[in-house]
Structure 1
Amino acid sequence: MIDTVVLDLGNVLVRWDPRRAFAGRLPARDTEAFLVDFDFMAFNHQQDAGRPWADARVDLAASAPEHLPALDLYVEHSADTLAGPVPGSAELVHDLRASGVRLLGLTNWSAETFHLAETAAPAIGLLEDVLVSGEVGVAKPDPRIFALLTQRFGLRPERAVFADDSAANVAAGSAAGYDAVLFTTADALRADLAARGVALPRT
């Protein structure tokens, strides 16, 4: 019996593309050097886990100062990285609310930029609450964030579906006892939930 659905946000409810911060502002070769060669995703994960952007800049100035212009652009234009709702996600959120299940969010997101999320995807505001990694200082797939999720909201993991677009996060959610599913599309998640007995209208 599923009584709770926990949703990741980035690329589940809201489209996130870091390249959008640099489009028309930074040469393509410099963008790729920052995002790929430097491994921006690993660098950004530390902000998701609570490191302030100011501290990140200090660290970057010491380790790879050639990427400071790219970092400054990313921070200044963070809103541009959010490309609106994931197709079908808003309708799914509305239908889940109508079904009567608890609806929560669990996101890896900097505490300093999380305020941008709901503007880009208003359905986020329909969730009961969101556990934001940057606010609690620990990020998926660290098992501690799933323990905190369970404790904070009084969940029974075996009665909760957790959906995320990261296979590593799905594996961590499953290890924590959640019925974890890999998100690909809103329609696929709708089918996954229906198969688990969540009453949803068909698309």
Structure 2
Amino acid sequence: MDRTDVEAFFEAVDFPTFNARQDAGRSWADARREVAEHHPEHVSTLDVYTENFAASLVGPVPGTEEVVRELRDLGVRLYGLTNWSAEMFHEAEPAAPAVGLMEDVLVSGRVGLVKPDPRIFEVATGRFDLDPARTLFVDDSVANVTAAQALGFRTLRFEDAAGLRARLRELGVGVREA
């Protein structure tokens, strides 16, 4: 399979929408049935994608695992809120080991809600017993950060580990300087 096949698949299934539906809890079996019904020529591409899902992940952002480990060692409560397929979430920790350092992770595909929907933040607030005013929400998506901010969370749009460290230090968290 070459890049042209992959791009044709992405376009045919409107991959951002396809992926959002997976993150919202659609099963891969249902996704395959829909692709077979509407784009049968792309079923084999979907099969290759799902069989090699781990290879599609870009891996951790440099320095993030160290920051998360440092926060954990400082006794900071660490929770994850991720837009991710329930069936593929087992691939998260191998790709980004910081996931395994968190006390708990709320996976969108398991609750049928995705960021930036305010309801998923409400689920997280209840599940993790959070006070938004005392919680820093970190995400690389402007839409997700904006939604969290509207609900009273302190926020940081993540760009890199150094920026995260700087924001944490501004908040009085004793992480080392970058």
With normalisation by structure 2, the TM-score equals 0.94
Q: Which runs of 4+ in 1 moved over 3 A?
A: none
- The corresponding residue for 2:4 is 29
**1:97 & 1:103 partners in 2: Cα distance?**
7
- Unpaired runs of 5+ in structure 1? 1-25
Identify which range, 150-159 or 192-201, moves more after superposition. Answer: 192-201
Report Cα offsets for 1:9-63 as digits up to 9, x if no partner: xxxxxxxxxxxxxxxxx22112122234642121011111011000011112222
| CA-based RMSD | 1.4
Report 1:132-171 matches (<5 A).
132-171=107-146
Q: Larger relative CO (CA 8 A, sep 6+): 1 or 2? A: 1
- State whether residues 12 and 39 of structure 2, in contact with CA within 8 Å, keep that contact through their aligned partners in structure 1: no
* 1:71-103 Cα shifts (integer Å, max 9, x gaps): 111111011122332100111011111222211
SS of structure 1 residue aligned to 2:138: strand
Match of 1:174 among 143, 149, 156: 149
| More strand, by proportion | 1
CA contact (8 A) 2:24 2:109 kept: yes
Question: Once the two structures are superposed, what CA deviation does each residue of 1:154-190 show, in whole Å capped at 9, x if it has no partner?
Answer: 1000110111111111111112221121111111111
Identity %: 56
* TM-score in terms of structure 1 length: 0.83
Q: Distance in 1 between matches of 2:12 and 2:146?
A: 27
- Tell me the CA shift for residue 120 of structure 1: 2.1
The 1-side partners of 2:10 and 2:145 are apart by: 24
**Is 1:51 aligned to 2:31, yes or no?**
no
Distance in structure 1 (CA, Å) of the matches to 2:99 and 2:93: 5
Q: Distance in 1 between matches of 2:37 and 2:138?
A: 37
